Structure 1
Amino acid sequence: MKARDLSVLLGVILIIIMLVIPLPGWLLSILILLNITLALIVILVAMNTQETLQFSIFPSLLLLLTLFRLGLNVSTTRSILSKAEAGGVVETFGSFVIGNDALVGFVVFVILVIINFLVITKGSERVSEVAARFSLDAMPGKQMSIDADLNAGLISEQEAKERRKLVEDEADFHGSMDGASKFVKGDAIAGIIIVLVNIVFGIVIGMVQMGMPFQEAIDTFTRLTVGDGLVSQIPALLISTATGIVVTRSSQSGNNLGSDVTDQLLQYPKLLFIAAGTIFFLGLTPINFFLTTIIALILAVSGYLLLNQSKQPETKNVEEEDQTESAEMKSQENVVNLLSMDPIEFEFGYSLIPLVDTKQGGDLLDRVVMIRRQLAIELGIVIPVVRIRDNIQLNPNEYRLKIKGNEVATGELLLDHYLAMAPDMDDDMIEGIDTKEPAFGLPAKWIGEELKDEAELSGYTVVDPPSVVSTHITEIIKQHAHTLLGRQETKELIDHLKESYPILVEEVTPEPLAIGDIQKVLSKLLRENVSIRNLPIIFETLADFAKLTTDTELLGEYVRQALSSQITRQYVKEDSTLNVITVSGKVEKLIAENIQQTEHGNYLALDPDSQQAIIKIIHAEVEKMTLQEDNAILLCSPAIRMYVKQLLDRFLPQIIVLSYNELEPSVQVQSVGVVNVA
């Protein structure tokens, strides 16, 4: 591989030497044939690549070949004007085309130059320019599509990085091709000028310095000029055509210049046989047969060696592809895939497209990624990927959130406004469009940007639309986290825990608790907004108490008591005080006496009148407490906590129910109300 890289560097040095040092005719003939061979291989590779980035080195290679061709032009021009000869290849091409009529041969040559310059070169230049423009214009849309696929869960983060890199490489490639095509155009113009110089100055030099008659000078220098022009224009035409072919394909990146040139140029060994055959048949013309045969033999041997190197893996890949294609041909459409449902879906109307369009400054996709990370830390579960898509059936400013196919929340956004919430609900100092904050249902107003500073100075909480919707998504996912935790997700959490605590996991599952039992315990905790991130403590508790009972409701209570430090930090203020509503002994006794025990578990069988009385009192106490506190907390004994929570879930689900065992001894509990019945 290092020898290949060195060969490219030596080639560049040789080009520089050609521009300065006169070369003998036999060496010029070798280099001219090498130029034709390289051009032939380039166009064959360009025609056989499936994507542009399989030949990503082409812009740089194009410049090198153009420089090589110009170096040859300078060397042959120096030889023609100084010696009236430029090697056997140039003379043979000139004599073969001109024949006995110099004028006809020159006209044919001029036509070839015009075709190359006006048709091939200018066409390739235009294609390169348009491809570069469209590639850059399409780049934001492609990146947005990748972000959408990532959030939809269709691709992983690694795949997204690779696809973004591919899009960037494609844009870079077409930009490079746009610039490189300008060199091709300049090379064609330089070729025309060199032809004129060779003829005009050749005739003058031939007659003045070499003493040739006018007719002989015209014949000699026309033949040499046409021959030189042909051996230059034929490779130029092939390269220009290859340029037009390559820029119409899509891209892939390479390594360094030397390895890319050799790897990609020789990636099709069989094509070397075609090039070898072509060069060999050139030897059947008056061109030096021995020289063409040697070059053709070298190409054939190189192709044979490269083919043997790649034959084994290539055969294997072909067999694998054949097997895959055969399996796909035999398989039928699997309609079961149509039954799959996204765990979380976020749909929005067309006016909210700027929220997710990065080209328009939308950052909702990045916000959703941060939400998933935040909830993983807060709740201890991996939130599924949120499927984000537009829905023309929704109102333009409307959005909705679905959990497992069921609509759980809706809202409306005004992207050119800000949501302002007053510290005092009766404060109407700021004019705006009345609404409600979607996440918590607080009264709010949509205000224009011109009122933003005034609202903030007046004490309003001002939030931009992306923050409004991201907060809403966060709260809704928190509320429904227990429904997102299924057996499969539980199994993944257990497997992750097993990497660090294998003995602990083996003691809990599959005996005495199945994965479904553990899932119910974890879901019960999430339903009451208790994080399950501390899985070691949860499993330690399950290992201790699962031997006594397999009732998941009771096990959930034992786990809550084991997580007392976590629950305390979640609700207790910095001064270690906790204001609560306590349950009287009379009410606790009433509830305890009405607990029914069955083989399927325990439940509260309280008569309707007693239920209504308890709920009415709790509701009244909660209304008093919420005037001073953010959260209403009901405190009771451990024996009845889960039954009290079951009772309130149907009527007052927002109330937090704690037991005495779930609080640290250092907490100072202050009762601000008592639940009692007559």
Structure 2
Amino acid sequence: MNQIFSLLKNDGMQHARLLAGPILILMVMAMMILPLAPVVLDLLFTFNISLAVMILLVAMFTKKPLDFAAFPAVLLFATLLRLALNVASTRVVLMNGHKGPDAAGQVIEAFGHFLVGGNFAVGIIVFIILVIINFVVITKGAGRIAEVGARFTLDAMPGKQMAIDADLNAGLIGEDEARRRRNEVSQEAEFYGSMDGASKFVRGDAVAGLLIMVINVVGGLVVGVAQHGLSFSDAGRVYTLLTIGDGLVAQIPALIISTAAGVVVSRVATDEDVGQQMVNQLFANPAVMFITAGILAAMGLIPNMPHFAFLALAAALAGTGWMLRKRQREAAAEKAQEPMKNQAAADAAAAEASWDDVSLVDPLGLEVGYRLISLVDHAQNGELLHRIRSLRKKYAQDVGFLPPVVHIRDNLELKPNEYRILLSGVEVGRGQAMPDQWLAIDPGEVAMKLPGAQTTDPAFGLPAVWIDVSLREQAQIAGYTVVDAGTVVATHLNHLMHRYGDSLLGRQEVQQLLDHVGKEAPKLVEDLVPKTITLSQLQKLLRGLLREDVPIRDMRTIIETLAEHAPRLAAANPNGTGPDAGELLAATRTALGRAITQHWFPGEGELRVIGLDPKLERVLGQALATSGALEPGLAESLLADAVAAVQAQDANGDAAVLVVPGPLRASLSRFLRHHLPQLGVLSHQEIPDERVLRITSVIGGGAS
């Protein structure tokens, strides 16, 4: 129910705002066309005075001109309202003025009698003085300021636009902030231009007020003498006082609004309103107060001068100066003590160290140069932040555990467009990204060259070029893979996370993984850790899988395999240190063989793989069985043949996978992985029986 009332209330306020303009137009038309009762005139004159006061107060409390951007339109409608009131009051004065001084309402009567003492000569002089002040001083000065302000604002627009573009290109601001600043510059120019024109309305209003007064006096004499039979002196006294009251009640709000226009266009935009600026700057220097007090005191001692007024004001200014000086001395003393306090705090911190002084390195970090800050800044809605969140989620779904949070910070020691990726505080990757350009990556089959800065893809080392946004479609048509700067960094980070996945899996992540599995199979987890193997042994095994890019999503199979083989392998180990880690890893890989094979060979087709020459296979078996290591010559020839086989597989579009006997798999994988990270080494036991195996390349065909 409360929500319904709130919606109705909001709708009502919105409709009221929409109807404010039409209602004001109807009021103006009614005042010009329909005869109004004196009571209605009193209400409208009071509303006009209150509107003028409100406009002046709003103008004083604004901190910059654009805070009151509607002022030119408000000024126009306020002037139109005041002129319509003049028309309505003139009609009432001329029609009912012969009935007495209250014929046109109590407001006009009060201004005509109370403010000028019922003396129409005094009223005419006061009215003319108000018109001169408004027309010659305030309106003319405000119009000149608005004219000069509009000219200088228009002249400064290109420089401001260039400054905004420079900040945007430097990465100091984002697209949204640049767009907001451009709109603000454009609105400022439009505002001063509108104020230059709106000030002409106020000047015309002052002239119209003077002419209306003359016309009302002459018309009142004619109507009073010719139509109502009044004497010339009575008609002059009655109609002139009514006209003076009407003129004063219109000119005082006009003077207030003119002052508001001068305040808006003459202020300097700061973080303070006009009142705060005046107080803080007029009363900032106590010496000014003392000198002024001395001058007033000297004038007050002159004979026949009003001693009380001068001496009292001099004493007040001297007291104000003394308070200001006292406050400044206190502020200076406090400022002088700040270095001592800071030094004392520094000495105390240096004297006694604590654990708060120890800063731990982040498991995974990203450092960027200052031009890449816009990609990772929350305030600028950095796209790279969203990509990293999606990347961690996708990694968890593909690999099987949630990686650590990527801690991002800026590093001024890096080049402006450079970034680097840290693993436990150690750099594992570095690259460059251009926030305002796209990276066109050549997959190897592109003949067309594109203009731009030549580079290489930081993730996979492919040749690439940074191009302008306008060349994006042309590059895609030519066969390039085109990505933006955020995708370049995110892809590089994702590649390194998969490459160093074993280093990202700590004991905390293993325990969280067990807790997650335990929600569905609590008994299975309870029987494994720590009854069968320890948490560190499980972490070592999972890291062994991740080291060779084997996902650990199938934790049920992994745990069941460990529960089955760990006791047997532990009993067979004569050292009594638990199951052998290598044999346990081999058993787990065999259990995950179907998933491993599917990872390298999606679908149901035959497996086109690399094989070992039987002679080389026997030589490797004997070497590993006797010494556990390869001779340098044998290792060099093995590596050369492996490189050739991988190149042949790539040329044929086949996966680079080497299939070897089980006893050789772990040793060959460790040796070849450092030189050929793209090569997968599988054992015959890991290949499902239903998959057809075809040897397309052979390593060691020349071995003897």
TM-score range, shorter chain: 0.5 to 0.7
Contact 1:546 1:555 in 2 (8 A): no
Match of 2:27 in 1: 18
Which moved further from structure 2: 472-481 or 126-135? 126-135
Contact 2:35 2:88 in 1 (8 A): yes
Tell me which of 188, 209, 215 is aligned to 1:195: 209
Match of 2:520 in 1: 503
1:114/1:341 Cα in 2 relative to 1: closer, same or farther (>3 Å)? Answer: farther
Match of 1:402 in 2: 421
What pairs up with 1:37-56 in 2 under 5 angstroms? 37=50, 40=53
- Amino acid of the residue matched to residue 402 of structure 1? I
Q: How big is the shift at 1:565?
A: 5.0
Q: How big is the shift at 1:225?
A: 1.4
- Amino acid of the residue matched to residue 27 of structure 1? V
Aligned partners of 2:142 and 2:452: how far apart in 1? 64
Larger Rg: 2
Aligned partners of 1:122 and 1:335: how far apart in 2? 62
1:452/1:14 Cα in 2 relative to 1: closer, same or farther (>3 Å)? Answer: closer
Contact 1:124 1:241 in 2 (8 A): no
What pairs up with 1:45-444 in 2 under 5 angstroms? 67=77, 70-83=80-93, 87-93=105-111, 100=122, 102-113=124-135, 116-119=138-141, 185=199, 188-189=202-203, 191-192=205-206, 194-211=208-225, 216=237, 220-234=242-256, 237-238=259-260, 241=263, 343-347=365-369, 366=383, 370=387, 373=390, 376-377=393-394, 379-380=398-399, 394=415, 399=418, 401-404=420-423, 406=427, 408-410=429-431, 423=445, 439-441=459-461
Q: Could you say what secondary structure the match of 2:608 adopts?
A: strand
Q: How big is the shift at 1:634?
A: 1.6
1:202/1:147 Cα in 2 relative to 1: closer, same or farther (>3 Å)? Answer: same
1:205/1:565 Cα in 2 relative to 1: closer, same or farther (>3 Å)? Answer: farther
- Amino acid of the residue matched to residue 92 of structure 1? A
- TM-score between both structures, scaled by the size of structure 2: 0.57
1:124/1:672 Cα in 2 relative to 1: closer, same or farther (>3 Å)? Answer: same
- Amino acid of the residue matched to residue 618 of structure 2? K
Contact 1:90 1:228 in 2 (8 A): no
Q: Could you say what secondary structure the match of 1:503 adopts?
A: coil
Q: How big is the shift at 1:79?
A: 1.4
Contact 2:419 2:430 in 1 (8 A): yes
1:452/1:592 Cα in 2 relative to 1: closer, same or farther (>3 Å)? Answer: same
Aligned partners of 2:472 and 2:183: how far apart in 1? 42
Tell me which of 550, 560, 571 is aligned to 2:600: 571
Aligned partners of 2:646 and 2:640: how far apart in 1? 10
CA RMSD, 1 decimal: 6.3
1:117/1:499 Cα in 2 relative to 1: closer, same or farther (>3 Å)? Answer: farther
Match of 1:545 in 2: 562
Tell me which of 680, 689, 693 is aligned to 1:669: 693
Contact 1:400 1:410 in 2 (8 A): yes
Tell me which of 618, 623, 647 is aligned to 1:586: 618
- Amino acid of the residue matched to residue 548 of structure 2? E
Which moved further from structure 2: 632-641 or 2-11? 2-11
Q: How big is the shift at 1:675?
A: 5.4
1:355/1:95 Cα in 2 relative to 1: closer, same or farther (>3 Å)? Answer: same
Q: Could you say what secondary structure the match of 1:225 adopts?
A: helix
- Structure 1: runs of 5+ lacking an equivalent: 150-159, 251-328, 595-604
Match of 2:644 in 1: 623
Contact 2:164 2:178 in 1 (8 A): no
Aligned partners of 2:513 and 2:622: how far apart in 1? 44
CA deviations 1:583-633 (Å, max 9, x no partner) are 556367558747xxxxxxxxxx72352x76256324314313412425431
- Amino acid of the residue matched to residue 606 of structure 1? G
1:17/1:467 Cα in 2 relative to 1: closer, same or farther (>3 Å)? Answer: closer
Q: How big is the shift at 1:24?
A: 2.8
Q: Does 1:528 align with 2:548?
A: yes
1:650/1:48 Cα in 2 relative to 1: closer, same or farther (>3 Å)? Answer: same
Contact 1:433 1:447 in 2 (8 A): yes
Aligned partners of 1:560 and 1:240: how far apart in 2? 84
Contact 2:369 2:418 in 1 (8 A): yes
Match of 2:672 in 1: 648
Q: How big is the shift at 1:231?
A: 2.9
Contact 1:417 1:449 in 2 (8 A): no
Which moved further from structure 2: 563-572 or 385-394? 385-394
- Amino acid of the residue matched to residue 249 of structure 2? G
1:657/1:38 Cα in 2 relative to 1: closer, same or farther (>3 Å)? Answer: farther
Contact 1:579 1:670 in 2 (8 A): yes
Tell me which of 15, 24, 28 is aligned to 2:41: 28
Tell me which of 629, 634, 645 is aligned to 1:607: 629
Contact 1:422 1:444 in 2 (8 A): no
What pairs up with 1:456-495 in 2 under 5 angstroms? 462=480, 470-471=487-488, 474-475=491-492, 477-481=494-498, 483=500
CA deviations 1:193-251 (Å, max 9, x no partner) are 5424522432342233344669655564244213212134425644874798898679x
Contact 2:65 2:269 in 1 (8 A): yes
Q: Could you say what secondary structure the match of 1:606 adopts?
A: coil
Q: Could you say what secondary structure the match of 1:667 adopts?
A: coil
Aligned partners of 2:394 and 2:382: how far apart in 1? 19
Contact 2:147 2:192 in 1 (8 A): yes
Contact 1:542 1:559 in 2 (8 A): no
Which moved further from structure 2: 561-570 or 628-637? 561-570
Which moved further from structure 2: 223-232 or 9-18? 9-18
Aligned partners of 1:367 and 1:24: how far apart in 2? 69
- Amino acid of the residue matched to residue 658 of structure 1? L
Q: How big is the shift at 1:650?
A: 3.8
Aligned partners of 1:51 and 1:565: how far apart in 2? 71
Contact 1:372 1:382 in 2 (8 A): no
1:240/1:618 Cα in 2 relative to 1: closer, same or farther (>3 Å)? Answer: same
- Amino acid of the residue matched to residue 107 of structure 2? V
**Percent of aligned pairs sharing the same letter:** 19
- TM-score between both structures, scaled by the size of structure 1: 0.59
Q: Could you say what secondary structure the match of 1:23 adopts?
A: coil
Q: Could you say what secondary structure the match of 2:648 adopts?
A: coil
- Structure 2: runs of 5+ lacking an equivalent: 1-5, 95-102, 226-231, 273-341, 350-355, 567-578
- Amino acid of the residue matched to residue 367 of structure 2? E
Q: How big is the shift at 1:656?
A: 1.5
Contact 1:345 1:401 in 2 (8 A): yes
